[in-house]
Structure formats: structure tokens, C-alpha cells
Amino acid sequence: MPLRPAHRAAGFFDLVAAHDFDNGGFKQAQKFMDRDTVEYAMLRARRGDAGADTIARQTLDQELNIIDPAWGGAYQYSTDGDWIHPHFEKIMQVQADATRIYALAYAQYNDPRYLKAASGIAHFVETFLTSPDGAFYVSQDADLVKGEHSAEFFALDDAGRRKLGVPVVDKHVYARENGWMIASLAELYGLTGEPRYLGEATRAAHWIADHRGLPGGGFRHDENDVAGPYLEDTLAMGRAFLELYAATADRAWLDKAEAAADFIDAKFGASAGDKGQPGYNSAVAVTSNSAPGSRMLKPRQTIDENVGVVRFANLLAQYSGKDAYRKSADRAMRYLATKKIATWRLTDPGILLADEELAAPPTHLAIVGRKDDRNAEALFAAALKYPAAYRRIEWWDRREGAMPNPDVQYPELERPAAFVCTDHSCSLPVFAAADMQDLLKDLGR
């Protein structure tokens, strides 16, 4: 169920109206980079929308002011209606979102400042928020001494800070936060070709699968959960697995993504007696206490989580060819498309992105060739640099059997080739990585 045209238009109107064209970001005292706003603005900018381009570039440029120049990492926000009064806490969601958006921005704009930002944030996570086992921690505190503002401390260089100490790190390991960062590192790897990002992402993914996994493909939040499971943990890991599949063409990751999607549909959708209810719940229903006659707490739905389900399930349907996942995406979109939800201002960019992606297939880049062939490897690496989050990138080695989604018939060729496919038809084959890069530049315009 797509958005009504009036809701779609109103959503973009609200996005523009909410933007501070003098200072960047939202028109509010706290300044930060909203991931969905910038991603949607970049999408429209690629189509020639100059106003959207201004929104994206202005916010990307201003956010650079609240990235730590000494350690890397993005501060949570800035106060006072500007970008020079940072709150110094560094939470994992901000690191993951900023890493991903700056990687996409670098691919789109070829601005070295954006690559430096993404790489610096990833380096901060590697240095301060990574456990000895490779999983990711939750956050680093804003203060060196609890309750004392640390502007003077964060003004120091690395050596000066370390003489005084390091702010406390919350060393909980949550599936949700790990899924967010794994997905971002997988995209950063694809867009830069830097192997260590993939190594960090896969190491964390294996650890979370081993230590936070649940029977049936889902995930618990922490080592021991009092309640749950919660949608966000499995959703974040499902998207992480799908990004790892896109980055590696290893079908084991696709299998894990499908298992996560199956768990989401089984646990967080409507009850068996109410299949028509749109959307997905944040958690399974639980009783308020164990006493006889205790009442069942009603599960709630959130906009961000249903946006995430649309985007994950729809892309998974494209990769797998399975209609069940398309139905999951449609179901979440029916919740988002209701009048009450679709006109909720600050979350409109996420709804608009979900609506865009559900309305049309992604750009499909396919490599056909053996996975031990260096030319095929070079073509795949070039394809991964396509500057868009919504894309389907596959590498077919015929020795592995049929493609997971065999919706395109590729010709038998004597050497590796790349194809750009739309509507079940493909371009002429491209045989050189340099030619593939030129083709991607044309697609990105």
C-alpha cells in the first residue's frame, strides 16, 4: 500500500519546512544529523533537486563540526542552536548512522572530507567501543569525571587526554547496536574497498550470532533478558546479514537474513486471529506480573521500526525472490500509510524512503563469473561502489547452482561480465572494472 500522493507531497513539504537553511539540521536547539532526512535528500539530489542537495550538503558539512578531531567518533548532538556546543557522549546508534551516511555521501559527492569522517568514526569504534572478542559496546560517556562538563578535556589532543584518562565505556553488548554497526561497516567496506571494515563486521556478526542468537533466527537483546524478545534486535541483525551478503556474495549471510525475517513475521506480526492488522509490534505480548488474573500488556508499534521492516523485508524479497518477504514489507507499509502515521512530521523522511523503495525495484548489478577469477572479483568490487543504499548487488558463480532469485537469464560467456538489470532485462555485458566504474557514474547521475 503506497502513500497517498497528498501524504507524499506533505511529507516532503514538512522535510523542507523543518530544515534550518541558515545553520543546517532541524529548526531546533539541538543540532544533529538525522539519517533519514539526509539520505532522502541525497536521493532527490541525484535526480537533480537542487533544494534537496542543499539540505543534504549543508547538514553533512555542519555535522563535521561535532566529530571528535582527536579520537574520531560523532558526538551525540550540539546545543544552543548551533554546531559548536557538543554534548560529548558517543552512542553507538550515532556512530553507525554517521558512518553509513558519510560513506554514502562520499560515494555520491566524492568529497574527501566525508570519507575522512566515515573512516574516523569507524576508527573510534575500533579503538574504544570494540570488545576483545570483536563485538561492539554501547557508548562512551560524555564526562571524564561523572557530572563534570568535559569541554576542556575534549579540547586536548590524544596524548593530552590519555594523561588524564578515558571516559567510561558502557561495555554491554547488545544485538541491536551490533547490527547497526555491522551493517554500516559492510557498506563502508563496499564503498571504499578497505578490507579491515569487512573483517570487523564479520567478526562481530559471528559473535552476536553465537552469543545472542535465539532458536528460529531471532536475537535477544543482552546476555540475559528479563523480557523480550524485541523487534529491533532481530531487525538490526537481519539487515546486517543482508548487507554482509551484498558485500561478499556469501549465501550463508542471506540464509541468516531470511531466518531473521521469518522470526520477525512469526513473533512480531499480528496474532493468528488478526492477520489483517497492519504493521509489526516492538515486542511480543507479556503479562504485567505472574499473579493469577494478571493482564496482558498490549504490544505497541513504532514508526521507525516499521520503516525498518519495510526497507529490510522489501530488499530481502528482491535478493531472495520470495513473495513472503514482499508481503511483510507491504504489511508494515500499510501501517505507515495510514493518515495518522504518514503525517507525523519528523519521521516523514523514513516513511518517504520506505515508500520509494517499495514502489520500484532497486538498481540491480550482477556479476557473472567464477569467484576465483580476478577479473570477476574486480568487477564485483567496482559494483559495490554504486552510490546508493537501495541496490541489489550479486555475484553469480554458476558452480553454486541457480541464483537465489533467478529472475534474469544471463548469457553464457567465456569471460566474467557485469550487467545492469531492470525490469527483468539487462544491459550489454561489461568486461572491465574501469568500464564498470564509468557505467556506475552514469547511473548515479
Q: For residues 204 and 258, is the Cβ–Cβ distance under 8 A?
A: no
Of 301, 135, 136, 313, the closest CA to residue 230 belongs to 301
Q: Give the per-residue pLDDT at 373.
A: 97
- Could you tell me what percent of the chain has a pLDDT over 90? 80
Q: Is residue 425 part of a domain?
A: yes
Give 334-345 as a DSSP string.
Answer: HHHTSHHHHT-G
Average pLDDT over residues 24-45: 96
Confidence of residue 286 (pLDDT cuts 50, 70, 90): low
Average pLDDT over residues 264-271: 86
CB neighbours of residue 140 within 10 Å: 23
Q: Which amino acid is at 105?
A: A
Confidence of residue 14 (pLDDT cuts 50, 70, 90): confident
Residues 87 and 68: their CA atoms lie apart, in Å, by 11
Average pLDDT over residues 91-107: 98
pLDDT in tens, 298-346: 678 999 999 999 999 999 999 999 999 999 999 999 999 887 786 665 5
- Residue written as cell 489483517? 276
Tell me the three state secondary structure of residue 425: strand
Average pLDDT over residues 376-380: 97
Q: For residue 375, what are the domain limits?
A: 362-445
Average pLDDT over residues 395-417: 94
Q: Give the per-residue pLDDT at 348.
A: 78
Element (H, E) at 238: helix 231-248
For residue 220, pLDDT over 70 is answered with: yes
Average pLDDT over residues 158-187: 98
57 versus 146: which is more confidently predicted? 57
Q: Is residue 423 part of a domain?
A: yes
* 375 torsion bin: left (phi>0), alpha (psi -120 to 50), beta (else): alpha
Tell me the three state secondary structure of residue 301: coil
Confidence of residue 440 (pLDDT cuts 50, 70, 90): confident
Q: Angle, nearest 10°, between helix axes 348-359 and 303-320?
A: 20
Of 72, 155, 51, 52, the closest CA to residue 115 belongs to 72
Average pLDDT over residues 358-370: 95
Q: Give the per-residue pLDDT at 200.
A: 98
Average pLDDT over residues 136-145: 96
Q: Is residue 376 part of a domain?
A: yes
- Could you tell me what percent of the chain has a pLDDT over 70? 92
Q: Is residue 303 part of a domain?
A: no
For residue 291, pLDDT over 50 is answered with: no
Q: Angle, nearest 10°, between helix axes 175-192 and 231-248?
A: 20
pLDDT in tens, 390-400: 999 999 999 99
Q: Is residue 392 part of a domain?
A: yes
For the record, the C-alpha cell of 331 comes out as 504489511
Q: Give the per-residue pLDDT at 438.
A: 78
Confidence of residue 284 (pLDDT cuts 50, 70, 90): confident
DSSP state of 31: B
For the record, the C-alpha cell of 105 comes out as 555521501
Least confident of 42-46, 158-162, 386-390: 386-390
Mean pLDDT of the chain: 92
Residue 380 is part of a domain; what is its CATH number?
3.40.30.10
For residue 207, pLDDT over 50 is answered with: yes
Q: Give the per-residue pLDDT at 270.
A: 62
Contacts of 197 (CB under 8 A, 6+ apart): 122, 185, 186, 188, 189
Residues 85 and 76: their CA atoms lie apart, in Å, by 11
Q: Is residue 387 part of a domain?
A: yes
Contacts of 283 (CB under 8 A, 6+ apart): 227, 228, 229, 230, 231, 268, 299
pLDDT in tens, 422-431: 766 788 899 9
* Terminal CA-CA length for the chain: 29
Q: Give the per-residue pLDDT at 293.
A: 47
Q: Which amino acid is at 351?
A: I
Split into its structural domains, the chain has a count of 1
Q: For residues 333 and 2, is the Cβ–Cβ distance under 8 A?
A: yes
Q: Give the per-residue pLDDT at 190.
A: 97
Q: Is residue 438 part of a domain?
A: yes
Residues 196 and 101: their CA atoms lie apart, in Å, by 19
Beta strand pairing call for 391-396 and 363-368: parallel
Of 52, 66, 69, 183, the closest CA to residue 124 belongs to 69
Q: Is residue 393 part of a domain?
A: yes
Least confident of 8-22, 277-291, 351-365, 412-426: 277-291
